[in-house]
Structure 1
Amino acid sequence: MQLLEGGLIIQASIGGLNGGDMAFAIFSFAVLLWLLRKFAWGPLMNKMEERENHIANEIDTAEKNRADAEKASREANEQLKATRQEAQQIIEDAKKAGQQQEKAIIEAANEASARIKKSAEEDIAREKEKAVEALQAQVATLSVQIATKVIEKEISVEDQEQLISEYIKEVGEEQ
């Protein structure tokens, strides 16, 4: 017993712990762990999991938004490129239309000048014919008067017409 007494003394000198107190402490610790696990650890872990899921969702959303932004940027660049090409095509079409219109205006002006020139030439020819006819008439009249004075006799109407015709033919041949 002395050993047992010695052991108890040692125990008493250490702090006086006995087996019942230890069992109660272990049981209380186990109950405390169970309570912590049920009411503190579980909700804490749930909150941590929710936070982890929330962060993962935010990262996924950010990645999706970045991908959407890149896609929108590519589409905008493609649309800008297409718009530039369309604008260039419109400019080229406008240049071609301007050149065609220029050619049409020049052709119309050339045709108009040709018509005016032809009309002027026709007018000149008509005026020339009128002038020649007037000149022929004056020459015929003067010739008859001169011939009348030279011959000093009256010429019949038939003789006068024949003389005029012959003279006109001669004048026409000279020109």
Structure 2
Amino acid sequence: MNFVAPESLVFWTTIIFIILLFLLRKYAWKPILGAVNDRENSINNALESAENARKDIQNLKADNERILKEARAERDGMLKEAREMKDAIVAEAKEEAQVQASKVIEQAQATIQSEKQAAIADIKNQVAELSVGIAEKVVKQELSDKNKQIKLVEDMLKEVTIS
């Protein structure tokens, strides 16, 4: 058996290691470092994209909040305007009803007054007719006797004074 001396083994191992290191450095180290650098760059780009996406999401959230606040304010304004319109319509309807009620009352009072005047005039006419009728009967009865006629004329003359 042929054995190699340990000193020459160390020498050849060192030479092979240096050659291997030189070959790795020349052919493998650059591509590996390039791949690592590319991977690092892609990770950094992904992190930047994620940060940009996070900022975009924050901006969208802020925009959504602003739009939501504006929509709520607009809704509140529309509700307030609707309430004001409702109150105005109700007030106008009440006022119109009050005016109509006043007109109806005035017309009823005028009708009552005219009917009252007509009733009073009718009563006066009936009283006058009754008075004339009664007076006619009384006068006929009183004037049927000659002595009573003379006495009536004398009594009337006493009542009438010449001024």
* Bin for the TM-score computed over the shorter chain: 0.7 to 0.9
Aligned residue number for residue 130 of structure 1: 122
1:32-111 paired onto structure 2 within 5 Å: 32-33=24-25, 34-38=27-31, 40-111=32-103
Query: Aligned partners of 2:43 and 2:10: how far apart in 1?
Result: 47
Aligned letter for 2:28? L
**Deviation larger for 71-80 or 27-36:** 27-36
SS at match of 1:98: helix
Kindly indicate whether residue 14 of structure 2 is the aligned counterpart of residue 25 of structure 1.
no
Kindly indicate whether residue 147 of structure 2 is the aligned counterpart of residue 143 of structure 1.
no
Q: What displacement does 1:16 show?
A: 6.0
The structure showing larger relative contact order (alpha-carbon pairs under 8 Å, at least 6 residues apart) is 1
Aligned residue number for residue 113 of structure 1: 105
**Deviation larger for 48-57 or 63-72:** 48-57
Aligned residue number for residue 148 of structure 2: none
1:146-157 paired onto structure 2 within 5 Å: 146-152=138-144
Query: Aligned partners of 2:122 and 2:89: how far apart in 1?
Result: 48
Aligned letter for 2:117? A
Query: Aligned partners of 1:16 and 1:73: how far apart in 2?
Result: 74
Q: What displacement does 1:50 show?
A: 2.0
> 5+ unaligned residues in a row in structure 2: which ranges?
1-6, 146-163
Aligned letter for 1:37? K
- Residues 73-93 of structure 1, C-alpha deviation per residue, up to 9 Å, x if partnerless? 111112211222222222222
- Residues 80-126 of structure 1, C-alpha deviation per residue, up to 9 Å, x if partnerless? 11222222222222222222222111111111111111111111111
Q: CA RMSD in A?
A: 2.5
SS at match of 2:126: helix
Query: Aligned partners of 1:100 and 1:106: how far apart in 2?
Result: 10
Query: Aligned partners of 1:145 and 1:106: how far apart in 2?
Result: 57
TM-score, reference length from structure 2: 0.73
- Provide the aligned length of Structure 1 versus Structure 2: 138
Query: Aligned partners of 1:127 and 1:31: how far apart in 2?
Result: 140
Query: Aligned partners of 1:146 and 1:60: how far apart in 2?
Result: 126
Aligned letter for 2:96? A
> 5+ unaligned residues in a row in structure 1: which ranges?
1-11, 154-175
**Deviation larger for 144-153 or 108-117:** 144-153
